[in-house]
Structure 1
Amino acid sequence: MKIIVNERELKEYFDGLARLLPPPNGARPPASDSLDASALIEELRQSIREEMASIQLAAQRDAGAHALNKLGQIFEPHAGKPAELLTSAGIVEGTIAKVGADYLAVREHGGTSVLVPLDQLVAFQLTGKQVER
């Protein structure tokens, strides 16, 4: 995104704002000639950069949440079925006990329950006797 700014118009805009707003703590507002347009433009650019970065982070977070939600929907029909899950920490083998928004609860063969975050899941396969319908 490119923003083109006319320095004179920008200076007039902020001078007008300064006249409209009450001065902080009774101090006199600075004279319009003392405003440094280049410093003001740099401050605006920095604010725009920060806003764009926060928008980009929010979009990435939303995309990641959507992908995890979709992955959870894939696992829902397999609840109660035996599976082998490959995670970044190793293999978890057992029955899928619960499918959460961003995790799977797996009951291992020894009775231990393990929570597997969906974002740590590398691969999975259903195990045990499979019957085609």
Structure 2
Amino acid sequence: MKIIVNEKELKEYFDGLARLLQQNAAQPPASDPLDASTLLAELRQTIREELTLIGLEGQRDVGAYSLKKLKQVFEPYTGKPAELLTPAGTVEGTITKVGGDCLVMREHGGSSVMVPLEQLVAFQLTGKQVEQ
């Protein structure tokens, strides 16, 4: 698993957390040891939740970047015959449109099929190709 984190925000977060802990340490100790352990448990839970949120945001950013990159890869092939392999099967035809998150293929029978970019397993140009 890869987590992309803004180091500055993460440093500020932990600096703020350290200041909170120092403030609590400066106060007189709690008379009930359960209060301190409850505080620690809540603090740990908050840290876990924050780290989970940071991880999810990073994954979302990586996914959006990947889709943009795939779109750029497929745009030059608009109007060309191709074969796309997806988990649902193979789609053969001509790429008619490259959208933000999908390809539109016109199959040989004339029907159009939308293929989500995130579902592509393999891609291959078909037919006779001429280099210019």
Normalised-by-shorter TM-score class: 0.7 to 0.9
Correspondence for 1:49: 48
Q: Which has the higher contact order (CA 8 A, sep 6+)?
A: 2
- Contact 1:7 / 1:37 at 8 angstroms: preserved in 2? no
1:38 and 2:73 equivalent? no
Where do 1:1-133 residues align within 5 Å? 9-10=23-24, 33=31, 36-133=35-132
Compared CA separation, residues 91 and 57, structure 1 to 2 (3 A)? same
- Where does the alignment leave 5 or more consecutive residues of structure 2 unmatched? 1-9
TM-score by length of 1: 0.76
TM-score by length of 2: 0.76
Q: 1:8 to 1:74 in 2, by over 3 A?
A: closer
The separation in 1 between residues aligned to 2:83 and 2:20, in whole angstroms, is: 62
How many percent of aligned residue pairs carry the same amino acid? 60
> Is the Cα contact below 8 Å between 1:72 and 1:102 reproduced in 2?
yes
The residue matched to 2:121 in structure 1 has which SS?
strand
AA in 2 matched with 1:10: N
Instruction: Say how many residue pairs are matched.
Output: 116
1:83–1:124 Cα contact (<8 Å) kept: yes
Instruction: Point out where structure 1 has 5 or more consecutive residues left out of the alignment.
Output: 16-31
Distance 1:71 1:96 in 2: 14
Write out the 4+ residue segments of structure 1 that deviate beyond 6 Å after TM superposition.
1-8
RMSD between superposed Cα atoms in Å: 2.7
Q: Counterparts of 2:106 and 2:22 in 1: how far apart (Å)? A: 69
